[in-house]
Structure 1
Amino acid sequence: MVERAARVGDVKRRVLLSGIRLGALACVVLSAPAVRAEGLSEALAKAYQTNPQLNAERARQRATDENVPQALAAYRPQIIAGLSAGLQAVRDQLPGNVIQTATLKPWQIGVTVTQTLFNGFKTANSVRVAELQVQSGREALRNVGQGVLLDAVTAYTNVLANQTLVEAQRSNVAFLKETQAITQRRLNAGDVTPTDTAQAEARLSRGLSDLNAAEVNLAISQATYAQVIGNPPSQLRSAEAVDRLLPRSREDAVGFAFREHPAVMAAGYDVDVASTSIRVAESSLLPQVSVQGSVSRSRDSDSTLGTFGTDQASVIGQVTQPIYDGGTASSQTRQAKEVAAQSRLVLDQVRNQAKTAAVSAWVANEGAKIAVSASESEVKAATVALAGVQKEAAGGQRTTVDVLNSQQDLILAKARLIGAQRDRVIASYTLLSAIGRLDVKTLVLNTPDYLPEVHYHQVRDAWQGLRTPSGQ
């Protein structure tokens, strides 16, 4: 009896220590060490500056800016200089069958200046199209920026959640190993049957498998983090939802999405681009007026000519009116009108998509709040249940499988809580993105904001130069 009481006391002591460790783990869900830790805002700032997808989109926008000076070039004169020189062999047959040969060295130099005065308003409309393309491109850039920041949030919270889940699974494996060892000692003492030992060993094997799966998911999330953020994750601080920045109602969310989402605004600019392109196509049917001035000098060394050189200067005005071009301009005009109709339909489609995304994000965010609250209650209840089952097992009122089942319920509840807390953060940022406000200014990130208009103003009125500006 004394030996049996000692074994029971040993079981109680081990069960109590295990319960204390599990209770401590439940208090650190989705938390990270504070030593040299990296916060979510710091990770977002790094992604905003270094993400290759975002930087590639910025380069595309800078290339789009160049459409404006190209269109403005039609307002400016076109100057062409020409120079020709060479050798010319001449063989003249004179009366009396006299042959005269000579080697000439003619040359000519000249400059021609052409200025378009009127081209059916093509230049003005082309400049307008280019400016609208720049506006559309900026909204597309902003949309890509939102996607990159949301990817960064997802990568950050996935690493954080998987790190916590790995720790939970390791604690679970430690508990199962201890339970298996206790069960083996009790089997040796004749207190339990081999079935209890087999059940403990089976649960330990399952726990090791779950730990391996959690470690694999952590490695994958770490690789994704390095791809999106630009450096491997170190120690991460807990991430919080951005409820303070979110709309107060679903109707507000839909309204913000309609007015401010970059995809909607880009589609609106695309409608303006297509509508203005109709007038560009129609300009081919209108008169063209230009003036051309030229000066030239030529010299010839042929002694048989009456003159040895010529200097010329001229100013010529030209007016042309297309009569029939085979139907090209008419076809291009009809085509532009169809493209404009298509762009309006695309705008309606994008608005509907923005509305659906805003509603979905709002519902998901509200659901995530409920899921976190329910999971927290589940973890608390499962922790209390496990402690009670352990005490009853120590008193002989519960079996080993009861303890194992209770432990399995607790670890599953913790996994659901970890996932719910991760989804809660992602859902809040997704809603912020759905209303078009996931950007550096709104989040107050400690990083300079990329300003696409800086490069635009650097190149807009540039008359020449092959070097790209040193600005953004």
Structure 2
Amino acid sequence: MKNRPGTARTNVSARRPFLSAVLLGGFVLAFDVPAAHAESLLSALARAYVGNPDLNQNRASVRAQDEEAPKALAGLRPKASFQAIAGAQTGAAKILAGRSAITGQRQFFTDEFISYPRGATLAVSQTIFDGGHTESAFRQAESSVLAARARLRLTEQAVLQKSAAAYMNVLRDSAIMKLRMNNISVLEQQLRVTADRFDVGAVTETDVAQAQASLAQARSALYAAQAQIKTSVAAYRQIIGDEPRRLEPARSVESLLPRLLNEAVAVALAENPGVAAALYQVDAAEQAAKKAESVLSPTLSVSAQIVNQHDSIMGIPGSRQFAAAVIGQLNVPLYQGGGEYSSIRQAKERLGQERLNADVQRDSVRASVVSSYGMLEAAKASLISGRATEMAAETALIGVRDEARTGKRTTLDVLNAQQSLLNARVAIVVAQRDVVVASYEALSAVGGLTARSLNLDVPIYDPRLHYEQIRTKWFGVDAPAFR
């Protein structure tokens, strides 16, 4: 490219440093930041992984779901109760003394008394057999816990995906705003050149008006860009939890994706947490149906009771009562109004519903993978096309400006060429953002967008630790140390 003198050419050259920053390193979107104080995309994702309220709320929900397992196991654990009584009572006893020798009527005498009854009762019971109700309830609880963990992974993926999009949106909008600010500088120079040429009679007043109109439109576009970046910053703050400061370039995660679409679909059907959650819900529904059927089975239990009371027999002071009993109880349900049969049918219908939902989830995941891969390929193609367009638009602008000096082109031609170059550069910025975001969306659809796969510098949250702490816990109201 020839180096021609001229004010307008100097302004075009001034744009090259920024363009180099935008196009740095393949699929990279960047703007000038001091590297020592910059934040990377991975560090932003780590911040969201630790502090995002939606993700933390879901973790608490999983911990609450964990408690269903020990609740289910309580069905075959012993139950014990202790009851103590103490008090005072007064009364009178009417006692037959005999018959009168004269009248033959019965004679009574009244004995008033006051006593202080007291005592204690200890009762223990143990279910020996409950028709498999407890076992089914426990297996249902475990499947529900696994489903909750899968939904947690789904939330983790959604948070990381949204965080990546918020990060890239700030980068994109910052770059676009700088492009538009630079465009205003170029158009201001173009207006000065056009006004100077008007003063010497080289152009008409129409050319000046066209330059003024283009400058006004550029300023309006800048105001819109400033408003857009405020929106993106607010979304960044909401998702990641802090204000964006000096963001570094970001790259796509295509290296973590299966190369072929068919492979990606197969991996997604096996590993996507949405599918996993649906399959665990099918398991839970199967156990719920078995639990409902268990009410038709006989149950066997044993209970023991020890009673020790004083001054409680008719209020007689000094009386004492002690009793101990061991009782076995067999309960065989015959008919209880038909409600139990309705519950069984309902549980079986819900099982069918969950199976259909699993099919729906598989179809949804398959469509999501195909769509995300298509969006990624489209974004990459747009980036390649945008770069070619930018090179051609820059060459065209230089040529149009040179021809305008000799009168072969009008001011409007120059302004249109300048706008075409700006549009090409904005399209490149948008395409770079789309490539990165689409790669994260594709990785999420496959089921591999996790803090572990991204190698984030954070302690990985493991829900299994809390579950193992409370699974066989018999008593205690304090939450485990690890949460």
TM-score normalized with structure 1 length: 0.95
Contact 1:90 1:102 in 2 (8 A): yes
Give the aligned residue type for 1:255: A
How many residues are matched? 462
Residues 79 and 125, structure 2, Cα contact 8 Å, conserved in 1: yes
Alignment of 1:71-470 (within 5 A): 71-95=72-96, 96=107, 98-300=109-311, 305=316, 308-470=319-481
Q: CA RMSD in A?
A: 1.6
How far does residue 26 in structure 1 lie from its aligned partner after superposition?
2.0
Q: 1:303 offset after TM fit, Å?
A: 8.4
Residues 246, 431 of structure 1: 8 Å contact kept = yes
Q: CA deviation at 1:98?
A: 4.1
- TM-aligned CA deviation for residue 87 of structure 1: 2.5
Q: For 1:426 and 1:370, how far apart are their aligned partners in 2?
A: 15
Give the secondary structure class of the aligned counterpart of 1:443: coil
Cα distance in 2 between the residues matched to 1:70 and 1:59: 18
Cα distance between partner residues in 2 of 1:283 and 1:309: 44
Question: What residue in structure 1 maps to residue 25 of structure 2?
Answer: none
Distance in 1 of aligned mates of 2:84 and 2:243: 62
**Cα contact 2:115–2:316 (8 A) shared by 1:** no
Note if 1:58 corresponds to 2:59.
yes
Residue 101 (structure 2) aligns with: none
Deviations 1:431-454 (A, max 9, x none): 101110000121111111110001
SS in 1 for 2:259: coil
Letter in 2 for 1:317: G
Question: Which runs of structure 2 are paired with 1:5-20 in the superposition (5 Å)?
Answer: 13-20=6-13
Contact 1:253/1:362 (CA < 8 Å) preserved in 2? no
* Whole-angstrom CA distance in 2 between matches of 1:332 and 1:301: 47
Give yes or no for contact 1:12–1:391 (8 Å, CA) kept in 2: no
Offset at residue 104 of structure 1 (A)? 2.7
Aligned partners of 1:375 and 1:301: how far apart in 2?
97
Give the letter aligned to residue 362 of structure 1.
Answer: Y
Which amino acid letter does the alignment assign opposite residue 325 of structure 1? Q
> 2:49–2:159: 8 Å Cα contact kept in structure 1?
yes
Q: Which residue in the other structure is 1:8 paired with?
A: none
Q: Which moved more, 1:340-349 or 1:14-23?
A: 14-23
The CA deviation at 1:88 is 2.2
Q: Which amino acid aligns with 1:310?
A: Q
- Structure 1 letter corresponding to 2:85: S
CA distance in 2, matches of 1:198, 1:329: 85
1:70 Cα deviation from its structure 2 partner? 0.8
Unaligned runs of 5+ in 1: 1-10
Letter paired with 2:76: Y
Counterpart Cα distance in 1 of 2:315 and 2:89 = 14
- Check the 8 A contact 1:23/1:383 in 2, yes or no: no
Q: For 1:181 and 1:214, locate their aligned partners in 2 and report how far apart those are by CA, in whole Å.
A: 25
Residue identity matched to 2:383 = V
What amino acid sits opposite 1:227 in the alignment? Answer: Q
Once the 2 structures are TM-superposed, how far is the Cα of residue 304 of structure 1 from its aligned partner? 7.0
SS at match of 2:21: coil
Which letter maps to 2:279? G
SS in 2 for 1:463: coil
| 1:32-43 mapped onto 2 (5 Å cutoff) | 32=31, 33=33, 34-43=35-44
Query: Hey, which bits of structure 1, 4+ residues long, moved more than 6 A?
Result: 301-304
**Preserved contact between residue 104 and residue 302 of structure 1 (Cα < 8 Å):** no
- Quote the Cα distance in structure 2 between the aligned partners of 1:106 and 1:373: 95
Q: Does 2:20 match 1:27?
A: yes
Q: 1: CA distance between counterparts of 2:130 and 2:312?
A: 43
Identity %: 38
Quote the offset at 1:227 in angstroms: 0.8
